[in-house]
Structure 1
């Protein structure tokens, strides 16, 4: 539920209209390819976690197998990415609430939701899991409602203002690249970012009572369930609404329920995306807290960050790390009081999203080092066809990053990710070298 809650969000409920309008029915192929490579990445992370389930995040393995500099760079990069994604979700939440209560200031809504979900995370991991279960369940029920409604309409050939609902609509006048090869390629990064958060399930393993059993079950089943939900939703949407009639401006879910004779569809979907954004924010706070704890824990024991943030509360959660992550999210309500920082936020958020690709690639490189180490378990939970699938997955992440430069709105973010990697990565590397030299001289 945590992985589903972190992955299925506004990218499906609101953004699927954009991806379908770009590629038509071939969007199914895009999600199939992405699902395959995300499954391989999760198997690589799962294999390392199976060998040492005591680790709180997969970044610990990057530190162990690629070195402290790479680990520190990845930890800070991933943590910042999580917090900026959390800010984006917090901004979205206020927009969805104002659908019903337009007079309430956005900053008040954001403070209420941030305070509530931060408190949920501070109480206990079990409470977080319970909240995330119900958040994810609402999303799943909405998707199942869409699929059941769509199947009924298609099997009964229901008449709509756009014609008859039918499976034949999906491949009627089919074209692999209806708007050209570039539109097809640009759908990959859009769909890629819809999968962000699937690795959240790995962050919960260390707090599970039966980690080895959970690792296998979660990794093997999660992606299949997500693909079923995405595939099922996409097939139903295109079966009821000919893909040539879908527009990016409106949620396909709203359009389907309206055609099914449910005039309250807009309000219903607004409720679903509100819970979806709340679910994502809940997951981002949980994950950011664990990652900040990991950053502090890997620093020398006499450092200020280690002493203050590498601690576990009586409730069994990294409370101090969760609090500092939540405090950073307070930037969002401050931004809501002024419009001057919105452009900067857009650029920074775009860059942080693009840096996820770099983080995922480093996780795959760490897995390759793990395979060469004495920690490797020949009888463990192994990544399938490793010698072929590992380099293919890394090459695919490189392909996704390159495609960002073909999309005008993603170019700034991609350049920002490169600048961050070169500058901060370089500073981290040389700082680590200076520390090693100082230790050698002493």
Structure 2
């Protein structure tokens, strides 16, 4: 027993760490970089899309929270798949999740390279991206407490950015601020007003096709929220902090997402927001405050860096856990910890895979590296989410079910709704050019790796957790 405790990642996150990580975890690159694309596609109706996705993600988090609440000794909510659905399903889901966080990290690294172009327009992203990756890998070699401290301050910066954009919108609204500026060669003028949001409103101004396409972009803005389940094993009081963090998610969604989007569309006429640009940066460039645009670019850069940092932390520990419970001789090197309790080999191998990110844009079939990578990540996340909800339904029928625990509200109604919603989003990806190849790739992964998982013998898949 003593050896098992020594050979486990050290708990080093405090309550303030987990709360800020939970808050900041709901603010991702999908909002800062993807908001321009999603607003461009469907206008103010994007608020409805965010509410729909936010609701089903909250239900997912409640399901994860209920299972973790009754057994906080688990280092990952994914361990429940093995326990309640079976070893083969657990093997498939846990390795899929490890892969999906790799793609998530790739997307965040792509965003970092995009943001740095504002300051280093002559330096190619294949130069800047590896440098940032090396820096964050070095930070992750320290300890869990240092990771928590880094994420705490990264999170503070992201939260401050949202407060800043909302406060800016309120001041401009009351002052009836008028802007007249050039943006990337286009002359744009207007007055900050709430009428910018709903003037000449159409439910799907660019067609239903674009409305449904927005779901994938918004979905990526929310993926990773379940990271709260991966940090449960790292907290000093997991039951209390987990419950508090999850219960506050609806308020955070309303404020950080809906609030920020309302602020942006009040400042700018949504029809003038170009796809592929961060509206957060654009807002301050248009009103002529050049230094503020640089600050916002720094904020969104740290946001992407924060998400990449979290992905490195999560996926290295996931690989460590999988190597201990479901790996063979090939994964044995990943079971070793450094003197600081860091799964160093797992971290370095993860970084090596993420390192291929700069080369994805060189593939002829990939017209937009960010959209391609986020599509792959979103597809695989949906697979994991569906498996998690199926696991939850199995848990409710098990002897472990805790009737007086942290329960999902009306689970017989809301969990099936969430399941159907995730499946519909996945199916929709086959109808759009940018997401078709990733969607087909996901089906191939499900069939091939699903078959490999099914052929594994149960005694090779025993979960020691």
Superposition TM-score, scaled by structure 2 size: 0.86
Q: How far apart are 1:425 and its partner, in Å? A: 0.5
Q: What is the 5 A alignment of 1:52-201?
A: 52-102=71-121, 106-161=125-180, 162-201=189-228
State the match for 1:39 in structure 2: 58
Decide whether the 8 Å contact of 1:28 with 1:234 is kept in 2.
yes
State the match for 2:6 in structure 1: none
CA change 1:313–1:341 in 2 (3 A) is farther
Decide whether the 8 Å contact of 1:15 with 1:251 is kept in 2.
yes
Counterpart-to-counterpart distance in 1, 2:140 and 2:375: 26
Secondary structure (helix, strand or coil) at the match of 2:456 reads: helix
State the match for 2:246 in structure 1: 219
The one of 379, 400, 416 aligned to 2:425: 400
Q: How far apart are 1:98 and its partner, in Å? A: 4.5
Secondary structure (helix, strand or coil) at the match of 1:248 reads: coil
Q: Alignment RMSD, CA only?
A: 2.5
Gaps of 5+ in 2: 1-19, 181-188
Q: How far apart are 1:259 and its partner, in Å? A: 3.9
My pick for the range that moved more, 308-317 or 75-84, is 308-317
State the match for 1:439 in structure 2: none
Answering whether residue 354 of structure 2 is matched by residue 329 of structure 1, we say yes
State the match for 1:22 in structure 2: 41
Decide whether the 8 Å contact of 1:19 with 1:27 is kept in 2.
yes
Decide whether the 8 Å contact of 1:66 with 1:366 is kept in 2.
yes
The one of 229, 244, 252 aligned to 2:279: 252
State the match for 2:15 in structure 1: none
Answering whether residue 302 of structure 2 is matched by residue 275 of structure 1, we say yes
Please give the per-residue CA displacement for 1:64-89, whole angstroms capped at 9, x wherever unaligned.
11111111111211111111222232
Q: How far apart are 1:94 and its partner, in Å? A: 3.5
Q: How far apart are 1:307 and its partner, in Å? A: 4.1
Counterpart-to-counterpart distance in 2, 1:123 and 1:38: 32
Q: How far apart are 1:152 and its partner, in Å? A: 0.8
Please give the per-residue CA displacement for 1:179-230, whole angstroms capped at 9, x wherever unaligned.
2222222211211111111111111111111011011011111342133111
CA change 1:348–1:430 in 2 (3 A) is farther
Counterpart-to-counterpart distance in 2, 1:351 and 1:47: 28
Q: Which has the higher helix share?
A: 1
Decide whether the 8 Å contact of 2:216 with 2:378 is kept in 1.
no
Decide whether the 8 Å contact of 1:4 with 1:226 is kept in 2.
no
Secondary structure (helix, strand or coil) at the match of 1:163 reads: strand
Aligned residues: 432
State the match for 1:412 in structure 2: 437
The one of 284, 289, 314 aligned to 1:287: 314
State the match for 1:363 in structure 2: 388
Counterpart-to-counterpart distance in 2, 1:340 and 1:409: 14
Q: How far apart are 1:108 and its partner, in Å? A: 4.7
Q: How far apart are 1:132 and its partner, in Å? A: 0.9
Counterpart-to-counterpart distance in 2, 1:63 and 1:76: 12
Counterpart-to-counterpart distance in 2, 1:50 and 1:216: 8
My pick for the range that moved more, 96-105 or 26-35, is 96-105
Secondary structure (helix, strand or coil) at the match of 2:401 reads: coil
Secondary structure (helix, strand or coil) at the match of 1:264 reads: helix
Counterpart-to-counterpart distance in 2, 1:244 and 1:182: 17
Gaps of 5+ in 1: 437-442
Counterpart-to-counterpart distance in 2, 1:77 and 1:247: 34
My pick for the range that moved more, 126-135 or 338-347, is 338-347
Counterpart-to-counterpart distance in 2, 1:184 and 1:103: 36
Secondary structure (helix, strand or coil) at the match of 1:20 reads: helix
Counterpart-to-counterpart distance in 1, 2:343 and 2:243: 26
My pick for the range that moved more, 320-329 or 354-363, is 320-329
Counterpart-to-counterpart distance in 2, 1:230 and 1:413: 26
Counterpart-to-counterpart distance in 2, 1:254 and 1:110: 20
